[in-house]
Amino acid sequence: MEYFQFLIIIIFAPLVNGIIKKFKANMQGRQGPGIFQPYYDLIRLFKKELVISNISSWIFRVTPYIVFSSTLVATMMVPVITDKVLFGNMADIIALIYILALGRFFMALAGLDAGTAFGGEGSSREMTVAILVEPAMMLSLFTAAISAGSTNLSNIVNSSASLYTPSHILALSAFIVAIIAETGRIPVDNPDTHLELTMIHEGMLLEYSGRHLALMEWAHYIKQMLLFTIAIDIFFPVGIASSTDIASLATSTAIYLLKIVFIAFMMAFIESTRAKMRFFQLPSLLGGAFVLALLSLLSYVIMGK
Amino acid sequence: MLGGGPEWWGITVLIVGAVSAVLGVIYALMENDLKKLLAYSSIENIGIILLGIGASMLFKAYGMNALASLALMAGLYHILNHTVFKGLLFLSAGSVLHAMHTKNMEKLGGLIKVMPYTSLFFLIGSVSICALPPFNGFVSEWLTYQSLLLGFNVPSITVKIISPLGGAVLALTGALAAACFVKAFGISFLGMPRSKHAEEAKEVSPSMILGMAMLAVLCLLLGIFPGTVSNIIAPASSMINGSYGLPSYEGLILIKETGSGLSPGFVLATMIIVSLAIMFFIYIVGGKKRARYGDSWDCGIPSLTPRMQYTATGFTKPIKLIFKGIYLPRREISVSYIVKPFFVKSIKYKSEITPFFEKYIYEPGVLFIHRLASKIRLLQSGSLHLYLGYILITLIVLLIFGV
């Protein structure tokens, strides 16, 4: 039972995106589409015919499967409602980040495959953003790993030794900035735009259609909820079940869903109150995140907690 | 040197490794010559190896032999991996050169259609060198991360700060390397051919393919059997530092100090199962696959040309601007007019980066040695009498001091 907790992320990921969109619409004074809209979109895309560019190669056709399966494997490493995961002692946070990087690598290649300027632009920007995000994200995770004495996610969840200390709060702020960049949200990227000159993530997906597009979108929703879940696991693991009887699983599921909705609300709030930044201002935002992560490490070393 | 020494030796090696890793890959990114790009990336990989070795020296300095052994193993594992994937990448770049007579990426493109095997092997090499699972680079970089994080157990504030920072540098290097090889593979092998040569290129001979295939298989095997490989390396590493008894699983590495484990083979198997499952799922939900082939999206302007694609220079332009403090980019624009300023005849645009190390360190050094050499050349006049004189003088000097 506890080994199938990753299914929660796979099933609810589109819903979380729908909820964020609904929150955003409400904050902007709009009605907005229903929270189940992403599911309808996915099903419709799965049924649609594919249009594939003659210029593209097999890379373009394999990429959706690599992106989806790598994201899913990453999901299997993460404790969602209990601290026991399918991957056991192989549930490693560094491995997880690199598995997600595998998906990004192929997505960027697929962007270049169709030989259009937009795809190349998307790939180039995505890789640039990754360069800026990766050190901050890793360093904030390192602080968590060091205080837990392990890079194994189950162990990190179970060691609440350094919760709510200065280093913990600094690492959390760095990690939130990293999540915003990784999920392609404002102020880094605009998830709603298809304007050629501003898009990053959408630019790479421009040539995709039908089931391929559905897989890429679904993988993107899963990655978003996965990152939220990692933030919960590391920074507010309170309430996660350590036994696997039905009652404690039910409570921890309820608590988990509440936390996810809260994070969704925060994301919508940040998106509605900020404007997208110019691309070349990103280094100062993401560099700032790195400095926060560094301060977190320093304060952990100095204060010892 | 590896047998111990004061703390600052290890710190020095760690810092040299970190600087070399970042600068190597940063210069590799700007290179549009396939082989030069690979050469710069060797600098990066040697930096990564030094991160492992530096961590090992730090542990040794504090008498933590087991950890020193682990960190040294990370370095040695990466040496082995670098041999394999860099060999593979150079062989495939060589095949491209053989077929195309150019190494300039801006003239390649679309090679995946005409050289399918070479492309596949270059892709495997790229994925390995970017340390992406399930290939070999991933295992050794993961071990390096683990060693650097374990550096926190060393009872010294400097080491506690510097070794996780080494890990952050490794993360930066990894992301830069990924960008670098997306560019190398994406621009050279994908998209539309950028020159006549690229359109008409032919796949290389089977013997050349076989050579690449063997290394590509090794890349995968060294990735999915990390336990076996580390058991082979462990004796060398423990000879210097004392034993580190890794559990002898074939496909799994487990660090016993932290309980962190890694199994790329398991990741690969799960990915394959998930892919099959999702194909079945799509079949249930969406029915049989229906596909139509057409042109890429061209904004309604008919006929995309290869010149409209992203170029290698364009791909790395944002990175060049962000790291302009390191690259010191320069550009010259010269415009010649027919009637100034309305009718332009031609515009010449030249953009380049300043090779800092070549210009300010190597070139002055080479110049100095050349000057010195030209002074010393006075000795070699070509006159036989003078040479006989030298022998006589040497003999006398030897007789005076030798006896």
**B147 CB-contact burial (10 Å; exposed 0-12 / middle 13-18 / buried 19+):** buried
Cross-chain residue pair A102–B165, CB shorter than 8 Å: no
SS3 of residue B309 by DSSP? coil
Task: Give the span between the Cα atoms of A271 and A275, in whole angstroms.
Answer: 8
Distance in Å, alpha carbon of B373 to nearest chain A alpha carbon: 45
Closest-CA distance of chain A to residue B367, Å = 37
Examine the domain organization and report whether B208 and B66 are in the same domain.
Answer: yes
Same domain flag for B249 and B333: no
Do B383 and B266 fall within a single domain?
no
Domain of residue A141 covers 2-303
Whether A188 contacts A285, CB under 8 Å: yes
Give the SS3 label for residue B338.
Answer: strand
Collapse the DSSP code of B139 into the 3-class scheme (helix H, G, I; strand E, B; otherwise coil) and give the result. Answer: helix
Run of H or E including A50: strand A50-53
For residue B117, give how far its alpha carbon lies from the nearest alpha carbon of chain A (Å).
13
CB proximity list for B400: less than 8 A, separation 6 or greater: none
Largest CA distance in chain B: 99
Chain B residue whose CA is closest to A117: B309
What does the CA dihedral A123, A127, A133, A138 come to, rounded to 10 degrees?
A: 120
For the segment B140-197, what is each residue's pLDDT rounded down to a tens digit?
A: 999 999 999 999 988 888 999 999 999 999 999 999 999 999 999 999 999 999 998 8
Contacts of B262 (CB under 8 A, 6+ apart): A90, A92, A95, B139, B142, B226, B252, B253
Specify if B66 maps to a domain: yes
pLDDT at residue A39 in the model: 96
- How many Å apart are CA A105 and CA B27, to the nearest integer? 20
Q: Is residue B298 part of a domain?
A: no
Same domain, B59 and B120: yes
Which residue type, as a one-letter code, is found at position A139? L
Work out how many domains chain B is built from and give that number: 3
C-alpha span between B174 and B46 (Å, rounded): 13
Amino acid at B245: G
Of residues B403 and A55, which shows the higher confidence score? A55
Q: In terms of residues, how long is chain B?
A: 403
Dihedral angle computed from the Cα positions of residues A59, A60, A62 and A67, in that order, rounded to the nearest 10 degrees: 110
The domain total for chain A is 1
B88 shares its domain with B122: yes
**Closest by Cα among A267, A234, A233 to A5:** A233
Give the number of other Cβ atoms within 10 Å of residue B78's Cβ.
Answer: 26
Q: What does the pLDDT look like over B374-396, one tens digit per residue?
A: 998 888 888 889 999 999 999 99
Phi, psi of B49 (to 5 degrees): -60, -45
- Gyration radius of chain A over CA positions: 19
Residue B242 lies in a domain: yes
Task: Tell me whether residues A50 and B290 touch, CB distance under 8 A.
Answer: yes
Q: CA angle at residue B323 from B331 to B362, to 5 degrees?
A: 75
Whole-number percent of chain A with pLDDT over 70: 98
Residue B64 in any domain: the answer is yes
B275 interaction partners in chain A (CB closer than 8 Å): 65-66, 68-69
Claim to verify: residue B261 and residue B226 sit in the same structural domain: yes
- Asked if pLDDT for residue A217 goes beyond 90, the answer is yes
CB B166 within 8 A of CB B157: no
Coil, helix or strand for A51?
strand
The answer to the question of residue B195 being in a domain is yes
- For B47, counting Cβ atoms within 10 Å of its Cβ (0-12 exposed, 13-18 middle, 19+ buried), the class is buried
Asked if residue B255 is part of any domain, the answer here is yes
Distance from CA of B341 to the nearest CA of A (A): 30
Q: Is residue B302 a part of any domain in this protein?
A: no
Distance CA A69, CA A102 (A): 10
B107 shares its domain with B31: yes
Q: What is the mean pLDDT of each run of 10 residues along chain B (403 residues)?
A: 76 95 94 94 96 92 87 93 96 93 90 94 96 94 94 90 93 96 95 88 92 96 91 82 65 81 92 95 90 86 84 92 90 87 86 85 93 88 88 92 76
Residue A128: pLDDT band with limits 50, 70, 90: very high
DSSP H helical segments within B130-156, as ranges? Answer: 136-150
CB A198 within 8 A of CB A121: no
Which of B167, B171, B261 is facing A90, going by the closest CB pair? B261
- DSSP label of B362: I
Q: Are the C-beta atoms of B331 and B350 separated by less than 8 Å?
A: yes
- Per the CB < 8 A criterion, the answer to whether A19 and A34 are in contact is no
Query: Are the Cβ atoms of A211 and B287 closer than 8 angstroms?
Result: no
Tell me, yes or no, if A77 comes closer than 8 A to chain B by beta carbon: no
Q: Which amino acid is at B338?
A: I
Query: Is the pLDDT assigned to residue A160 strictly greater than 70?
Result: no
Which residues in chain A are closer than 8 Å to B329, comparing Cβ atoms? none
d(CA A187, CA A109): 25
Residues of B in contact with A55 (CB under 8 A): 110, 191-192, 295-296, 304
Q: Are strands B343-352 and B330-339 parallel, antiparallel or unpaired?
A: antiparallel
Residues B331 and B385 in one domain: no
Return phi, psi of residue B312, to 5°: -60, -40
CA distance B359 to A40: 60
Please give the Cα distance from B400 to A293 (Å, whole number).
70
Sort out which chain A residues have CB atoms less than 8 A from B161's CB and list them.
297-298, 301
Do B344 and B259 share a structural domain? no
Q: Residue B190 and residue A142: Cβ atoms within 8 Å? A: no
Q: Among partner residues A72, A121, A123, which is closest to B182 by beta-carbon distance? A: A123
CB pairs under 8 A between A and B: 267
Q: Are A80 and A229 in contact (CB under 8 A)?
A: yes
> CB of B180 within 8 A of CB of B189?
no
Q: Please report the pLDDT score of residue B186 as a whole number.
A: 95
> Is B23 among the domain residues?
yes
Q: Which residues neighbour B142 within 8 Å (Cβ) at sequence distance 6 or greater?
A: A92, A94, A95, A98, B131, B253, B262
Are residues B209 and B117 in contact, defined by beta-carbon separation less than 8 angstroms? yes
Tokens of A152: 């194994």
Give chain A's length: 305
Residues B117 and B142 in one domain: yes
- What is the domain range of residue B227? 7-274
Q: How far is B316 from chain A, CA to nearest CA, in Å?
A: 7
Please, what's the largest Cα pairwise distance for chain A? 60
Contact B112 A47 (CB under 8 A): no
Pairing outcome for strands B260-262 and B253-255: antiparallel
Tell me if A151 sits within 8 A of A304, measured CB to CB.
no
Axis crossing angle, helix A93-113 with helix A210-235, rounded to the nearest 10 = 150
Amino acid at B34: L
What is the gyration radius of the CA atoms in chain B, in angstroms? 27
Give Cβ neighbours of residue B191 (< 8 Å, ≥ 6 apart).
Answer: A55, A112, A113, A114, A115, A120, B109, B110, B306, B309
| Distance in Å, alpha carbon of A87 to nearest chain B alpha carbon | 9
CA distance B135 to B60: 30
- Asked if residue B121 and residue B175 are part of one domain, the reply reads yes
Per the prediction, chain A carries an average pLDDT of 90
Cα A136 from Cα A172, distance rounded (Å) = 11
CB contact under 8 A, B309 and A117: yes
> Are both B350 and B375 inside the same structural domain?
no
Give the pairing type, strands B343-352 and B291-294.
unpaired
Would you say A172 and A235 are in contact if contact means Cβ atoms under 8 Å apart? yes
Q: pLDDT category, A156, cuts 50, 70, 90?
A: confident
Residue among B183, B226, B142, B139 nearest B33 (CA) = B183
